[in-house]
């Protein structure tokens, strides 16, 4: 049975945007088990390999989600012209990325529009 809780995946020009809506306030292991493959496949199939992850509704994620982000970034980064950005991070999620120094590796933007523009 396909889960009804899925992130929205759409194109904005050449950029694939993956939006985690209000039902993804917490991206814990249980939720990730349901959406991990979908998100990784979307990143793998993005052409061109430009991905924005919009986390405007997410208040919490842990190391398992960081691993998913890292896997997406690796796939995108391996492609010519690939790009990866995160949008709409809560202060907690931004702090997690700053503590782990991933804010130095990934582009962090206040909103989806800015993130898409940075990759266009």
- Say if 102 falls within a structural domain: yes
pTM of the full predicted structure? Answer: 0.93
pLDDT in tens, 70-81: 999 999 999 999
Q: Which domain holds residue 109?
A: 8-119
Find the CATH number of the domain harbouring 98: 3.30.750.24
Indicate whether 2 pLDDT > 80. Answer: no
The count of domains in the chain is: 1
One-character DSSP codes across 44-78? HH-SS-EEEEE-TT--EE-HHHHHHHHHHHHHHHT
pLDDT in tens, 20-55: 999 999 999 989 999 999 999 999 999 999 999 999
Helix, strand, coil percentages for the chain (3-state, nearest 5) = 45, 20, 30
């Amino acid at each position: 049975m396909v889960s009804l809780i899925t992130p929205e995946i759409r194109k904005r020009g050449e950029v694939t945007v993956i939006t985690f809506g209000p039902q993804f306030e917490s991206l814990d292991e249980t939720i990730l088990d349901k959406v991990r493959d979908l998100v990784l496949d979307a990143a793998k199939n993005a052409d061109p390999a430009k991905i924005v992850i919009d986390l405007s509704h997410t208040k919490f994620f842990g190391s398992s989600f960081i691993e998913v982000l890292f896997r997406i970034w690796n796939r995108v980064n391996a492609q010519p012209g690939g790009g990866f950005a995160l949008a709409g991070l809560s202060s907690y999620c931004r702090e997690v990325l700053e503590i782990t120094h991933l804010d130095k590796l990934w582009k962090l933007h206040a909103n989806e529009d800015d993130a898409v523009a940075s990759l266009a």
